[in-house]
């Protein structure tokens, strides 16, 4: 089943395809991804682009995984070193806002865009986006729960409510930056996040 000789060059091409796909998809959307234009921008043939994946859908799934990995690296890893709870939550928010405004994805948050695009289209792509987002919300609410247990958030706070609000704010920031080019978007997001994470008084 598995190839006897694993070729490093092949994996490298595959990565470059996924990288280009993620960049383009963040701007145009996952469904607007086209094998032809992808091939043209990579100076490859269409067959060479679709080959390592087998189908466009498989390429989309690979792009989602890669985008998710970038998000983890940009938002979760910087916060990983902080103490669980409120400290880590604020670190996440800082990294999150920096990520949204940092231009890593030219078209804004990859997962948010994919979520909006596929929320009405059943299938593997939607399932993948859904589970990715669900995992992230669980991470957020887990940290919120720890913060409550530590007394850094009000005892009557709801961890999942906190996660919901932080995620909503991030979506608002993303929209403000990408669609409305609002220079105040990050400031509004930061203020809103601070209010959600206001320590128990």
| Binding residues vs DNA (CB under 7 A) | 3-5, 7, 9-10, 12-14, 33-37, 43-52, 54-57
Nearer to DNA, 35 or 148 (CB): 35
* Shortest distance in whole angstroms from residue 97 CB to a copy of itself: 13
Phi/psi of residue 18, nearest 5 degrees = -65, -40
Work out which of 68, 112, 141, 146 binds a copy of itself, going by CB under 8 A: 112
Nearer to a copy of itself, 73 or 191 (CB): 191
Q: Binding of a copy of itself at residue 200 (CB under 8 A)?
A: no
Q: Binding of a copy of itself at residue 31 (CB under 8 A)?
A: yes
Let me know: does 58 contact 66? Beta carbons within 8 Å. Answer: no
Structure tokens at 53: 């994946």
Residue 114 Cα to chain centre, angstroms: 9
Distance CA 89, CA 83 (A): 9
Distance CA 194, CA 102 (A): 20
Q: Binding of a copy of itself at residue 107 (CB under 8 A)?
A: yes
């Amino acid at each position: 089943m598995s190839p006897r000789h694993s070729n490093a060059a092949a994996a490298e091409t595959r990565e470059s395809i996924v990288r280009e796909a993620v960049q383009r998809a963040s701007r145009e959307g996952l469904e607007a991804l086209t094998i032809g234009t992808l091939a043209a921008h990579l100076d490859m043939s269409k067959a060479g682009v679709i080959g390592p994946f087998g189908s466009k859908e498989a390429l989309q799934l690979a792009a989602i995984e890669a985008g998710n990995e970038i998000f983890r690296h940009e938002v979760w890893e910087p916060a990983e070193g902080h103490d669980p709870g409120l400290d880590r939550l604020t670190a996440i928010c800082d990294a999150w806002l920096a990520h949204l405004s940092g231009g890593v994805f030219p078209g804004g948050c990859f997962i948010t865009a994919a979520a909006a695009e596929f929320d009405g289209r059943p299938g593997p792509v939607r399932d993948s986006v859904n589970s990715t987002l669900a995992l992230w919300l669980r991470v957020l609410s887990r940290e919120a729960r720890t913060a409550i247990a530590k007394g850094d958030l009000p005892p009557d706070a709801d961890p999942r409510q906190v996660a919901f609000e932080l995620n909503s704010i991030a979506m608002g920031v993303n929209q403000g930056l990408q669609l409305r080019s609002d220079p105040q978007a990050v400031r509004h997001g930061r203020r809103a996040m601070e209010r959600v994470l206001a320590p128990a008084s």
